[in-house]
């Protein structure tokens, strides 16, 4: 745990955009973070699907989220040619946990339970992707 500097930004590849996920990535391009909620069981899920993975209903709708939550877990990858980076899960306030990166912070100060907020990070030739920073 010797590295304490915020690393140079790791280049994130363009996400694979599908017919299902295109509305999400179109919104991301506008700076809006969407999740899916099922109007049948009332629950939100992640990653977004047209059929609810919780109850099987096709009554899923896009919902804009402020992108706030807490760190469920994380790991700082030290073996990287572009410097250390942090991967982890955030449990969104709406309930679902999502895989992400933690950026713009001292990676050695990350902690489970810490509150974080979403921002979008640019990719090369693709829409921006959701990442999180401590609040």
Partner 1 sequence: MSIKGKAYIAGAYEHPLRDAPDRTTAQIHAECAKGALADAGLTKDDVDGYFCAGDAPGFGGLSMVDYMGLKNVRHTDSTETGGSSYIVHVGHAAQAIAAGKCKVALITLAGRPRQNKFFGGGGSRPGQLSDGPPEAGFENIYGGSTHNTYGMCAMRHMYEYGTTSEQLAWIKVAASHHAQWNEHAFLRDVVTVEDVVNSRMISDPLHLLDCCVVTDGGGALIVVAPEIAKSLNRPLVKVIGAGESPKGPMGGRSLDLTHSAAVWSGPPAFAEAGVKPSDIKYASIYDSFTITVLMQLEDLGFCEKGQGGKFVADGNLISGVGKLPFNTDGGGLCNNHPTNRGGITKVIEAVRQLRGEAHPKVQVANCNLAIAHGTGGSLGLRHGAGTVILERE
Within its chain, how far is the Cα of 126 from the centroid? 16
The beta-carbon contacts of 25-31 under 8 Å, at least 24 apart in sequence, are: 25/126, 25/127, 26/127, 27/62, 27/64, 28/120, 28/127, 28/128, 28/129, 28/130, 29/127, 29/128, 31/120, 31/128
Binding residue count for partner 1, defined by CB under 8 A: 52
Please give the residues from 43 up to 102 whose contact with partner 1 meets the rule CB under 8 A: 43, 45-47, 49-54, 56, 58, 72-80, 85, 87-89, 91, 95-101
Smallest distance from partner 1 to CB 24, Å:
8
Residue 24: helix, strand or coil by DSSP? Answer: helix
Q: Figure out which of the listed residues 7, 9, 17, 119 binds partner 1, where binding follows CB under 8 A.
A: 17
Q: Residues interacting with partner 1, by CB under 8 A?
A: 1, 10, 12-22, 25, 43, 45-47, 49-54, 56, 58, 72-80, 85, 87-89, 91, 95-101, 112, 123, 125-126, 129
């Amino acid at each position: 745990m010797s590295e304490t500097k915020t690393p140079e930004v790791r280049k994130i590849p363009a996400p694979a955009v599908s017919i299902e996920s295109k509305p999400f990535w179109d919104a991301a391009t506008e700076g809006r973070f969407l999740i899916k909620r099922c109007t049948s069981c009332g629950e939100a899920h992640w990653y977004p699907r047209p059929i609810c993975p919780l109850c099987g209903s096709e009554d899923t709708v896009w919902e804009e989220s402020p992108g706030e939550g807490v760190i469920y877990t994380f790991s700082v990858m030290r073996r990287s040619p572009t410097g250390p980076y942090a991967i982890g899960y955030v449990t969104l306030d709406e309930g679902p946990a999502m895989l992400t990166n933690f950026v713009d912070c001292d990676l050695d100060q990350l902690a489970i339970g810490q509150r974080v907020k979403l921002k979008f990070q640019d990719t090369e030739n693709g829409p921006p992707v959701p990442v999180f920073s401590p609040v």
